[in-house]
Amino acid sequence: EEIKIPMPWGHISGKWWGPTNKQPIIAIHGWQDNAGTFDNLASLLPSNIAILNIDLPGHGFSSHLPDGQFYYVFWDGVFILRRIIKYYKWDKVSLLGHSLGGAISFLYAASYPDEVNHLISLDIVSPAVQDVTKIASLTGEYIDKFLKYELLSLDNVPCYEYDEMLDIVYKAYDGSITKESAEILMKRGIEPAYSRGKYVFSRDARLKVAFLGMPSLELVLTYASQIKCAYLNIRAVPGLKFERSEYYYAVLEKIKVQARKFEYHEVEGSHHVHLDAPEKIVSIITNFLL
């Protein structure tokens, strides 16, 4: 079922799978993906489990942030999650996040440690800790790119035939998804350019430069030490490549200390294994939720 949740600047869209009389797990997609990323997984979960897959701002069918506003995707996500939870008046929640969505879920569970039951994180543990010299050297370039992207509108962004678009999406993921998976993401990721009889990407171009304001390792580890819920991390192998993979395991060790329950699993697959081959992880998730 398609849903819309009102926000001060527009709305957040989502897909509600399973019983609507049960509180759902909130599922959050990765950067420049959309709620469709969980379609295949949601269809395999037991029928008594409800799941709400949301489109983050600027993604899928959700409203873009207001003109002139920069996307601080990690922190924006925590605010969005809080607004959704307040809207539904839920006291405690369970979270499922892939990539960026897993990092947002991590920050939420650390910020509201007594209000999260379960956290399931797919091929991510926290916001990526990047080399500070790299961040400092790229800041000016990022700001100028943002100013360029914000001038783009539906009338002047590139438009493509459907098959062209499918090729662009498939190649952009560099082997992380199949063509079938690319088509699933495209259902919420493109829209007709009516004036030109082709298609455009519906996501906000400003998202391409959304990685300013990244936390330090010290801050990430401090957040990790505040997580108390039941915690499941599924790492895809080879999965996503990290600048410093040792940080991934350092953060997990911190979480393990306080978490009510802790599980770590490795599965063979790409960064989008949950979309391409959900049968590899569905039983791990189902057993964890029991």
Q: Which of the residues are catalytic?
A: 99
d(CA 124, CA 120): 10
Peptide bond preceding 238: is omega within 30 degrees of 0, i.e. cis? yes
Chain length of the chain: 290
Tokens, residue 268: 């063979």
d(CA 242, CA 25): 27
Burial class (CB in 10 A: 0-12, 13-18, 19+), 243: exposed
Sequence-ordered alpha helix ranges (H) in the chain: 39-44, 73-88, 100-111, 132-149, 162-172, 179-189, 217-224, 245-258, 273-276, 282-289
Which is nearest to 227 in space by CA: 246, 252, 263, 264? Answer: 252
CB 251 within 8 A of CB 283: no
> The tokens 């100028």 sit on which residue?
144
Give the DSSP per-residue string, 133-198. Answer: HHHHHHHHHHHHHHHHHTT--TTTS--B-HHHHHHHHHHHTTTSS-HHHHHHHHHHHEEEETTTTE
CB 31 within 8 A of CB 39: no
